[in-house]
Chains A and B, each alone.
Chain A
């Protein structure tokens, strides 16, 4: 909400405060100062002395204006709405104006179609005052040329009022709050809320309330008004907070709204047919509001109707045809109280938010409805003349005033944790307009946010200030949680991988439907991706079922930035739905490698590309011993493998690894092979045994034998490894594959064969092996290999 300092000074005198002090005071009231608007320098009042047609442009005029300097200034102007003698805002050279979108532009001396122009005459929108961009802003004729506009429209605070404090949505409300915090007294018109006007209950043909959304409605009739322009002081007040003046009657209702926070509406009596009926709208009823738009209503909306038609959407906006215009002579002034949630529903559904709905939906003070009407009527009589009916016509009942609240001061101290005296507590609550004795506090009707004792504690804490509360420092012992364990585990993985040259990435959890097909390394079967009901756009409408889509997108982006050699990983949550529609969330880890194994340098002028074996090395670094990549048939990957710890049926299956099909990689402009792997983190944690145990180091030397064997070219090394894992020989200590050779030309080896060379080590824990023991064991091994895997030894 915009609050004008000048307007605020009607109620409270802050002339002894600097802007910064006032800003601080508001801030510690709990009202955030989002900005302070002030008009720019070099913006002054100018009087138009003459206006002649531009010699070369039909739409432009050449004006001489009085800028207060004593000599006329020439300005070329395109507007038509002014006449000679009008006072207008003039931006002098050097004036910096807002150009929208965060940009500014500076006024300079220049020429328009060959005619010198030494400044710019401005519309209200151009100087950022109101949204009125139609023609020049015409200022009060009483202003002296040369007066800076910032004197007429002084600084305005843009305040963020939290939703629990609708009572601060007016100048009086803010002044009241500031008075409580500063200890200053409210001056002037503090008691608008009290009404002295006699009331009478409406007759059935005057006002009917046939909806629960409007518990209380008042109308006051003024006849013989003269609708016209508002006086300068009223226009300036409204303009200063960004409201465009309309006519004196409408301006008065806006003034009272901004002054007291009570929305009012003025109807042209001549346009009402019959009495006021506040009712629910008919389903499908159409309403043309004063913004010119047609709104389709439902039975949930409330309208103010006359005998024939709706004339306003209650509490939200009046109608196009029933408002006050220049021809209006008799006015019916509505001041009413509506149920906040009902107004909110309608405003939200129609996306029609007005200053009125904003206040009603947050909660207006029912006990100032009559007073607000009084203030408006008094102003109408002053500014537009006419005769008011003596009585205010009322229908319905005001809602109950807020109930008193019992407060134990011990409770206050126990929540705040400070020794605040009873006197201080009472002093704070009294300053806020509460009255009480014996711990029972009466709540002012405008404070709808104080139904409970804890709400009063908040008031005390807020005004007392947390700066005066002691800082209590203590620590505790907390047992380690499951979340602690997985956090620590993840940290280890992060550290290991970053040590291996991987960068940790964080990708968006929302992905597009197209990206779903990049989910290449997850293993959830029968599970489906989860779609949002209300996505923002079709780039982000699914929750990611795996991490690879995000990693591929990051790889593509990096490629575009010129980073071709990539080792990336991500640790994060993935989401899938079960066939029954339940959601499952898992923590996953995914790796992506592509490009050169190392950066090109003097040491390696042509680094080779990373391959699936590098991926395996990285997996071994983060997995427990016993890692196996077991080939699986999965069209999403080339060389797709299941990542397993252990062998056979008892192995722990952690996830999938493989190569992204080159066709997809090329679509992403990734030229080198792209290896990916994805692992379920919980399964990885579980695969680690609980404890690490020392195993005795060998005391006796081992004996090694090398062997090279010819095997079918398509025999996986993993099958040989499987053979060795299952092979029973107590003396066999380890087997290392040290050479793989294949010759597709068929010259050195048959083309359908390959050679695998292993170094086999034999060792006994308790003695040095005799040569014949080793020979016997090795011969047995060779025989077994021959018979089981059909190999030939070279």
Chain B
């Protein structure tokens, strides 16, 4: 019996050796370990083994089964590994990618989002207003003289009913003050319109970002700190910022903000980037009259306002030379920002 078992083991291992595929291996397994397999048959002979030999034969039986099983498993693993290797052998990982569609945000959205993120960290909430505005919201309430050139039909788009397309997002200042009481801390991104022929530096519609802060004791020092921080977050902590006296009807004092920036390979120069100032008390007076309460009493509250062109910001940040690229939507252009 013991010899017979040894022969079965040798035969099994010899049979497993040259097997080259999984079905051949399965045949071998059935031949030895299957219901009618040689080892199965041999183990059935256990009952005829004399009692005193049962232990030895039993041990031998286990040893042989383990040896065959191990050899089958090892061979099985080797065959699988070989099959896997064969399956992936033809793959060329250096082929170009299987294309996925590429998309991306418009550069103006990217710039705007960066600006909005910084200003939100500084505690400004968003606000909005209509683009079809009344002359009161766009001009009167913003202390613009009745015969100011901006009101001309040559400069501003009007509708038959006397309304107009807002010429700046500053009208959102008024809309907000009509609805909210101080403290008001808002930014309002949006479109504005001027009756300009389209060329490299003019669009009839452009995008602005307006800011307004009204509270008690708001000063020029607050305005300066706010805008310096904002522009340094956007353009880098060492960016030089200067405030140049200017004139706007709705702020007094008024300033234009310049940044010292350099285009690649060129000397740094001052670039005009925003307008700002302390809200003119006349604006608060208009709002007060309209509201009919004292929430914006010019002797009680003060504020600052600022506005900048997002298109201009994008031109500067990305080195875009022609505004028309921003409205052509050529995907080769848009793809540069994705």
On A, residues with C-beta under 8 Å from B are 27-30, 32, 162-165, 341, 344-345, 348, 414-418, 452, 454-455, 457-458, 461-462, 466-467, 469-481, 483-484, 487, 491, 494-495, 497-510, 530-536, 540, 543, 554, 557-558, 561, 563, 566-568, 573, 575, 581, 583, 585, 597-599, 601-604
Contacts and interface: CB of A to CB of B under 8 A. Distances in A.
A503 B335 contact: yes
A602 B95 contact: yes
Interface string B7-39: 000000000000000000000000000000000
A567 B102 CA distance: 9
Interface stretch (B40-48, B54-62, B217-225): B217-225
A164 B217 CA distance: 26
Nearest to B122: A475
A505 B338 CA distance: 12
Contact of A417 (B185, B205, B219): B219
B124 A458 contact: no
A162 B245 CA distance: 10
A561 B332 contact: yes
Given A28-B245, A505-B329, A535 B103 contact: no
B185 A473 contact: no
Contact of B330 (A480, A561, A581): A561
Nearest to B194: A536
8 contacts: A27-B244, A345-B147, A471-B221, A473-B228, A481-B126, A508-B203, A554-B329, A598-B99
Contacts of A557: 328-330
B224 A469 contact: yes
Contacts of B116: 487
B191 interface: yes
Contacts of A345: 147
Interface string B219-246: 1111011101100000000000011111
Majority DSSP secondary structure for residues of B touching A = mixed
Contacts of A162: 246-247
Contacts of A567: 101, 103
Contacts of B160: 531, 533
B109 A494 contact: yes
A129 B249 CA distance: 34
B220 A461 contact: yes
A509 B205 contact: yes
B204 A472 contact: no
A507 B328 CA distance: 7
A344 B147 CA distance: 8
Contact of B106 (A416, A454, A506, A534): A506
B170 interface: no
B195 A416 contact: no
Contacts of A503: 103-104, 106, 329, 331, 334-335, 338
Nearest to B127: A483
A509 B221 CA distance: 38
A458 B255 CA distance: 10
Contacts of A501: 100-103
Nearest to B217: A414
Given A487-B126, A503-B334, A341 B147 contact: yes
Contacts of B242: 466-467
A474 B121 CA distance: 11
A457 B329 contact: no
Given A341-B147, A461-B253, A598-B99, A30 B246 contact: yes
Given A505-B334, A603-B99, A472 B123 contact: no
B247 A165 contact: yes
B204 A536 contact: yes
B105 interface: yes
Nearest to A351: B154
Contacts of A455: 252
Interface string B46-89: 00000000000000000000000000000000000000000000
Interface stretch (B128-136, B260-268, B288-296): B128-136
A664 to B, nearest CB: 19
6 closest A-B pairs by CB = A501-B101, A417-B219, A417-B221, A30-B245, A162-B247, A476-B123
Contact of A484 (B125, B147, B222, B228): B125
A532 B330 contact: no
Contacts of A566: 331
Contacts of B101: 500-502, 567, 597-599
Given A558-B329, A583-B132, A494 B105 contact: yes
B180 to A, nearest CB: 9
Contacts of A458: 245, 252-254
B327 A415 contact: no
B157 A483 contact: no
Nearest to A555: B329
Given A466-B243, A533-B160, A601-B98, A416 B220 contact: yes
A478 B278 contact: no
B243 A568 contact: no
B247 A164 contact: yes
B235 to A, nearest CB: 16
A536 B220 CA distance: 39
Contacts of B254: 458
A467 B224 CA distance: 9
B329 A534 contact: no
Contact of A583 (B113, B163, B255, B335): B163
A533 B106 CA distance: 31
Contacts of A575: 131-132
B153 A534 contact: yes
B281 A474 contact: no
A477 B163 contact: no
A448 B244 CA distance: 21
A585 B131 contact: yes
Contacts of B229: 471, 473
A665 to B, nearest CB: 18
Given A533-B158, A601-B96, A504 B106 contact: yes
Given A345-B147, A481-B126, A509 B335 contact: no
Given A477-B123, A481-B126, A454 B252 contact: yes
Nearest to B256: A32
A455 B280 CA distance: 9
A588 to B, nearest CB: 13
B158 A478 contact: no
A474 B330 contact: no
A568 B329 CA distance: 9
Contacts of B326: 506
B100 to A, nearest CB: 7
A582 to B, nearest CB: 9
Nearest to A463: B245
Contacts of A344: 147
B256 to A, nearest CB: 8
Nearest to B299: A411
B327 A506 contact: yes
A374 B131 CA distance: 53
A29 B125 contact: no
B55 to A, nearest CB: 47
B219 A415 contact: yes
A469 B132 contact: no
Which of B98, B183, B188 gathers the greatest number of chain A CB atoms within 10 Å? B98
A504 B125 contact: no
Given A414-B219, A478-B125, A561-B330, A30 B244 contact: yes
A454 B125 contact: no
B102 to A, nearest CB: 6
Nearest to A551: B329
Interface string B191-204: 10101110000011
B108 A558 contact: no
B124 A478 contact: yes
Contacts of B221: 416-418, 469-472
B161 interface: yes
B224 A472 contact: yes
Query: Could you say which of B116, B122, B221 has the most chain A C-beta atoms within 10 Å of its C-beta?
Result: B221
A30 B247 contact: yes
A563 B109 contact: no
Contacts of A483: 125-128, 188
